[in-house]
Amino acid sequence: MAKQQFKAESKKLLDLMINSIYTHKEIFLREIISNASDALDKLCYISLTDDKVNMSREDFCIKIKADKENRILTISDNGIGMTKEELSENLGTIAKSGSLQFKKDIGEEKKDTDIIGQFGVGFYSAFMVSDNVKVITKSYNSDTAYLWESEGTTGYTITEAEKETVGTDIIMHIKEDTEDEKYSDFLETYHLRMLIKNYSDYVRFPIKMDMEKSREVKPRDGENPPEFETYTEEETVNSMIPIWQKSKSEVSDEECAKFYKEKFFDPDDPTLTIRISAEGLVSYKAMLFIPEKTPFGYYTKDFEKGLSLYSSGVLIMDKCADLLPEHFRFVKGIVDSPSLSLNISRELLQHDRQLKVIAGNIEKKIKAELLKLLKNEPEKYKKFYSSFGLQLKYGVVNDFGTHKELLRDLLLFYSSSQMDQTSLKDYVSRMKEDQKYIYYACGETTSKIDKLPQTELVRDKGFEMLYLTDEVDEFVVTMLDEYEGKKFKSINSGDPELESDADKEKIEKQKEDYKDLLNFVKESLSGKVSDVIISRKLKSHPVCLSSESPVSLEMEKYFDTIPGENKVKAQRVLELNAEHSIFKTLDEAVKNDKLKAEKLAEILYNQALLIADMPIEDPSHFTELICEFIK
């Protein structure tokens, strides 16, 4: 028979296919096996109503045979096969999906037969690894078998052939090895087995392969070592039913944990296992895990997020990043959906509407499950939070706060009244009647914060205070702005609004009375502080620093750690405690001894810097000044 040409556009695609589209050539095996599995599905479906098939579910299988010597890899199935017309229709035109046609023929409502018919150019991937492909097939609807043969872009021939049983053999002549590619690997049973395990483990028909094995034929006998012989035995390589396809009642927690540990190479049990079985517009099953510990390199750029994406048991993408939002990037797991209209290119997959729906559902479900954990097993949640809380905080701050509403209930902060982590919801529920704000203090550690003079008044009032000890924390509360209508307030802000009305009046009066003092100190510290005020929050300490700009002192410290020229500075305000004895000394000095007053102002400013855990500009000058006063 004369050689027939592929249709023009098919030829172009085939060229592309052979030369570039898939970077992982190994996936040809997945594609061919998926086609075989579809063919089995089709005949299996027909066998339900047609006795002529004369086969039961258990008889259907896929066989893989590697002949190293002749470089031939054969993949056989006893599925529906192809007629001569179908051969030229299906394998003469790339992207003509026979499976889709079949789906239309039987009617969409018969959902049981889910056929992966949407891979488009699947079959042609065989040419990525072979220089000659023969397809010998006999259709369930025909008595004659046919041979389709092609060497790639040059075209194909179809001739009559001999084949006893219904089904299809795909016979590939594997290319010679090149410098870049070791095609011979595709003839090694151990390699094929690994690929099947990896990509096609959950194909629902057995994939059988002759495996070489060794057995003892003669035991050790005195001096003589035992004798072994090699033999071949047919083995089913794939495990067929994926754990996520089984119902909850069929799978124990231990089995899920075991699966997680093996699949994701984690020695620890997951903190949480989430199972989703969605039916409807988009059907899919998902099995998600939250690891117990932060994986190595988690907070680096190298960490790759994503869920394994399957379509009816066939692996499509190992780490599909689009299925997980950044703030839940610690989640591992798999998603399996027969309804995805998958295409070979990742770019197209990204725009898939169904994928977006799944990703949206998954995000909601993860949040709901975490909230449940927080409510029912708070200790376990805290453990989770110590591993991934930072990620959630970054999630609040990132993307201009787009996700803050989703994430705020998952946040925890250390609380002064609980001496433990608390959620914002719990904090607000404990707020006193006369408490207007959610108070927080920033510092390196909780014990350092405890020693801040500014915390005294909050404590005296009996108000609860949140300790923000992560660098990102203050950005988080700034982004949140409020929780259930309660604004956040730093105890470090100029006016934490803690004083009573009487105190307020008193401070107003002091402001007036000590106007000269305040101006004097401000001037002598010019360039260092933007203002000097009578403090509204100090009790027993003489001074503290606060900030009147949106950039707080803690933020300034954070920005200082980032390399770069333009440092963002807080506008420092020196607060003086008018009730403190040193204040009187200062007042007298301002009136009678300006030089002494200047020195005192500098000492007080440096003390405030020390308390705020900020570097002082000239430490030796500072100690000299102190010595001068104590001698």
User: What residues make contact with ligand ADP under the rule CB under 6 A?
Assistant: 35-36, 39, 77, 79-82, 90-91, 97-99, 117, 119-123, 168
CB of 239 to ligand ADP, least distance (A): 22
**Closer residue to ligand ADP in complex, CB, 39/479:** 39
**Closer residue to ligand ADP in complex, CB, 39/366:** 39
Question: What is the SS3 string spanning 449-471?
Answer: HHCCCCHHHHHHHCCCEEEECCC
CB of 377 to ligand ADP, least distance (A): 46
Give the bridge partners for 167, in sequence order: 138
Cβ atoms of 467 and 441 closer than 8 Å: yes
Which one, of 276, 273, 271, lies nearest residue 247 by Cα? 276
The tokens for 322 are 């689009």
**Closer residue to ligand ADP in complex, CB, 121/545:** 121
Q: Cα separation of 255 and 363, whole Å?
A: 24
255 Cβ neighbours under 8 A, 6+ residues apart = 243
Cβ atoms of 77 and 62 closer than 8 Å: yes
The tokens for 357 are 């729906």
Q: Cα separation of 586 and 280, whole Å?
A: 76
CB of 90 to ligand ADP, least distance (A): 3
**Closer residue to ligand ADP in complex, CB, 123/183:** 123
227 phi and psi angles, rounded to 5 deg = -105, 140
CB of 554 to ligand ADP, least distance (A): 57
Q: Cα separation of 260 and 263, whole Å?
A: 5
CB of 116 to ligand ADP, least distance (A): 7
DSSP structural state of residue 515 = H
Cβ atoms of 343 and 120 closer than 8 Å: yes
**Closer residue to ligand ADP in complex, CB, 88/354:** 88
CB of 209 to ligand ADP, least distance (A): 17
Q: Cα separation of 75 and 209, whole Å?
A: 10
Q: Residue 219: helix, strand or coil by DSSP?
A: coil
**Closer residue to ligand ADP in complex, CB, 35/271:** 35
**Closer residue to ligand ADP in complex, CB, 35/535:** 35
Residue nearest ligand ADP by beta-carbon distance:
98
CB of 242 to ligand ADP, least distance (A): 21
Q: Residue 409: helix, strand or coil by DSSP?
A: helix
Which one, of 125, 119, 234, 230, lies nearest residue 186 by Cα? 125
CB of 73 to ligand ADP, least distance (A): 14
Q: Cα separation of 355 and 282, whole Å?
A: 9
CA quadruple 138, 144, 145, 151: dihedral, nearest 10: -120
CB of 402 to ligand ADP, least distance (A): 38
Q: Residue 191: helix, strand or coil by DSSP?
A: helix
Strands lying side by side in the sheet with 438-442:
420-423, 412-415, 465-468, 438-442, 486-490, 482-483
**Closer residue to ligand ADP in complex, CB, 120/389:** 120
CB of 53 to ligand ADP, least distance (A): 15
